[in-house]
Amino acid sequence: MTYLLNREVTAIERVSGGFCVTAGDETFECSLLVNAAGLFADRISAMAGDDRYTIYPCRGEYYLLDKIPDDLLHMPVYPVPRPGVGGLGVHLTPTIDGNLILGPSAEYVERREELATTAPMLCELGAEAKQLLPALDLRLVTGAYAGVRAKLVPKGAANYGDFIIEESPLVENLIQLIGIESPGLTASLPIAKIVEEMVSSRLHPSEKSDWRAKYRGIERFSELSDEEKASRIAENPDYGEIVCRCETVTKAEIRQAIENPLGARSIVSIKNRVRATMGRCNGGYCLTRIMNILHFEYGIPYEQIDLRRAGDHPFSGVVK
């Protein structure tokens, strides 16, 4: 399997036996096309010949709190859903790493990639969260982020749009995954199983003898015993260099994150794999150190390092 990242699909043409997909100056031919383009799934569907869908972007803001005392909250807390509101409202979610997440909001926006967070929404989410947990201290907020839901119903609709998981009745061999919003993350694995069965029933692939059904994640140095830490450092000195102090992430873990199977090398892709830059300093200490590793050890020029996606550069050029 080959992953081709950072390629925007610009055209899809029906050809004998399947599709011809154009992405920039590259073209790819396939007999079966799976449309899992998220916020842009309606546009991909229309390119392929099925124009029945419209995505309505709906932003959800979240706020991340510092690690909380063990006795403050042990489980997710959800409010009773309110009538006429397209969501469950703010809820409190303890993470497996000890942080607390509060949110999300539900705000229809014009742009599909409107990922800005806002001060008014922080106040609104904070007020709702304190109704659920009066002891909550909002001074512990260390970060804010937003995502955009791919809704199939517009603002003010009285109903929810269900997930579209089907072969298009209009275009043969086009498998559609459209409107996968909340709880899409929870449903992602069973959705993948459904798609696997749909694809297998058409292509009849043979199973690889060396296929690993389980992927082993990157071992967390911070969670090891002192004896295990000493052993890792003896085996690989990079474990003895702490790159991210807040989350105790070592250089060895950073290197494993950079060398991931997908080939994703943005700062955020590293953060998502080993939590570097996720601490209370938000990368104030480790961000430049991660960039130095990418530059000196992997040969990526500073001005070409991506923060989140291709072209999203923290640096614009050299000062002197």
Which of 74-78, 220-224, 306-310, 312-316 is most confident?
220-224
Decide if domain 9-55+158-203 falls under CATH 3.50.50.60: yes
* Total residues found in the chain within this entry: 320
- Helices marked H in 77-137: 119-132
56-151 CATH, one of 3.30.1050.10, 3.30.9.10, 3.40.50.970, 3.40.50.2300:
3.30.9.10
Does the pLDDT value for residue 2 go beyond 90? no
Instruction: Please state, rounded to an integer, the average pLDDT across all residues of the chain.
Output: 92
Contacts of 123 (CB under 8 A, 6+ apart): none
Percent share of the chain, pLDDT over 70: 98
Inter-residue contact 57 to 109 (CB < 8 Å): yes
pLDDT digit string (tens) for 301-314? 999 999 988 888 88
Helix then strand then coil, % of the chain, to nearest 5: 30, 20, 50
**CATH 3.30.9.10 domain residues, the chain:** 56-151
Does the pLDDT value for residue 211 go beyond 60? yes
Residue 191 confidence (pLDDT) = 98
Residue 244 corresponds to which tokens in the numbers above?
């991210």
- CATH class entry, domain 221-304: mainly alpha
Inter-residue contact 59 to 105 (CB < 8 Å): yes
Greater pLDDT, 3 or 317? 3
Residue 285 confidence (pLDDT) = 96
Does the pLDDT value for residue 77 go beyond 60? yes
DSSP state of 137: -
**CATH 3.50.50.60 domain residues, the chain:** 9-55+158-203
Residue 319 confidence (pLDDT) = 81
pLDDT digit string (tens) for 279-302? 999 999 999 999 999 999 999 999
Identify the band that residue 84 occupies on the pLDDT scale cut at 50, 70 and 90: low
pTM higher than 0.95, yes or no? Answer: no
Residue 312 confidence (pLDDT) = 86
**CATH 1.10.10 domain residues, the chain:** 221-304
Identify the band that residue 215 occupies on the pLDDT scale cut at 50, 70 and 90: confident
Q: Which of 148, 153, 151, 125 is nearest to 138 (CA)?
A: 125
Residue 5 confidence (pLDDT) = 85
pLDDT digit string (tens) for 170-194? 999 999 999 999 888 899 999 999 9
pLDDT digit string (tens) for 93-113? 999 888 999 999 999 999 999
Angle at 227 between CA 225 and CA 232, to 5 degrees: 95
Residue 234 confidence (pLDDT) = 98
CA 172/CA 198 separation, integer angstroms: 13
